[in-house]
Amino acid sequence: MDYFSFFGLERKLTLDASQLQKRFYELSREYHPDRFARKPEEERLKAEEASAILNDGYRVLRDPVQRAEYVLKQEGFDVGEQRSKDVPPELLEEVFELNMALEELRHGDEDARASLAEAHQKFINMRAAADEELTGLGQRYDQSQDRAVLQQIRGVLNRRRYIRNLVTEVEKELA
Amino acid sequence: MAYSDKVLDHYNNPRNVGSMDKNDPNVGTGMVGAPECGDVMKLQVKVNPTTGIIEDAKFKTFGCGSAIASSSLATEMLKGKTVDEALAIKNTEIVNELALPPVKIHCSVLAEDAIKAAITNYKDKTAKEQAAVAQ
């Protein structure tokens, strides 16, 4: 079941969040268990199933990252297990260096806190930049339906995953 | 999920952590990563150019226990092997040795990729050097 068509929305990477929410509420009412309490079992089960799809779909579609991953998967891109060949070497180099710096700070004294806070801000900014890039590429894909753009999106998602991990790591240290 | 004793041993006492000069013509460097889990693994080999035997291996991995253990074990396996023997190392050997569960098999794949990347880097370097000498 395609989530976009389930919600009756156009299949787009740049989705109107308020429109999605509106459809979610409408469909939630439509499939609400109270409305099926006295209906035959077959209908009740169908409504339950629709409710489950509705909730899963809403979770995926409202999050720009998950939404992009969903569309990539639909278009036959492997976004699960990925091998290193899919990651540009410069990115690995960069992530490695960032991890090294983080490790040094981690073993440092109290003075390292300021540097950790700085690193935290830097990673947050990098994540925001990746999100912005994702939005831009999403618009480009919606207009062109060009698979090459999806390939680029996949690259940004990989990068973002690394950045997200760095954010988590540094937040653990700052906590 | 519980780690096997061997994974814990390598995780708590990782062998051959460190780095070598990547500009050394006898050193091959492999840098690989798995975006799904955010792991990065750097593995280096130092080859004796006359015998073709790997004399030293170092690694540094940022990732889960299994990824660290896999690369630690990989460096142990590499020492004393020839370059071609090193290329023949399969991830299943790492899986068996560390008793990795199915969800962690990708960590051993990453280690195998790192070995291949390091050896390839070394081979590229020597090929370039020979080409330079030939000119």
Q: What percent of chain B has pLDDT over 70?
A: 99
- Residue of chain B whose Cα is closest to the Cα of A166: B38
Chain B residues in contact with A87 (beta carbon < 8 A) = 32-33, 35
Q: Are B39 and B62 in contact (CB under 8 A)?
A: yes
pLDDT tens for residues A2-57? 999 999 999 999 999 999 999 999 999 999 988 998 899 999 999 999 999 999 99
State which amino acid sits at residue B103. Answer: V
Name chain B contacts of A86, Cβ cutoff 8 Å. 35
* Residues composing chain B: 135
**CATH number 3.90.550.10 given to B5-134:** no
Q: Which residues of A touch B32 (CB under 8 A)?
A: 84, 87, 92
Residue with tokens 């004393």: B80
Catalytic residues of B: 37, 107
Split at pLDDT 50, 70, 90, the class of B1 is low
Matching residue, tokens 């899919």 = A86
Q: Specify the DSSP class assigned to residue A12.
A: -
Residue type, A145: Q
* Residue among A93, A162, A36, A134 nearest B29 (CA): A93
Confidence of residue A107 (pLDDT cuts 50, 70, 90): confident
Kindly report each contact of residues A85-89 with a partner whose C-beta sits within 8 Å and lies 24 or more positions away, as own/partner: A86/A154, A86/A158, A86/B35, A87/A158, A87/B32, A87/B33, A87/B35, A88/A155, A89/B31
Q: How many CB atoms lie under 10 A from the CB of residue B85? A: 14
Q: Where are the domains of chain B?
A: 5-134
Share above pLDDT 90 across residues of chain A, in percent, rounded to a whole number: 55
How far apart CA A56 and CA A61 sit, in angstroms, is: 9
pLDDT at A46: 93
Please name the helix (run of DSSP H) or strand (run of DSSP E) that holds residue B31, with its range, or none: strand B27-34
**Helix %, strand %, coil % of chain B (to 5):** 50, 20, 30
Residue B61's nearest CA partner among B27, B95, B37, B25 is B37
Determine, for residues A84 and B42 on separate chains, whether the beta-carbon distance falls below 8 Å: no
| pLDDT reported for residue A97 | 85
A116-135 confidence digits (pLDDT tens): 888 889 889 999 999 999 99
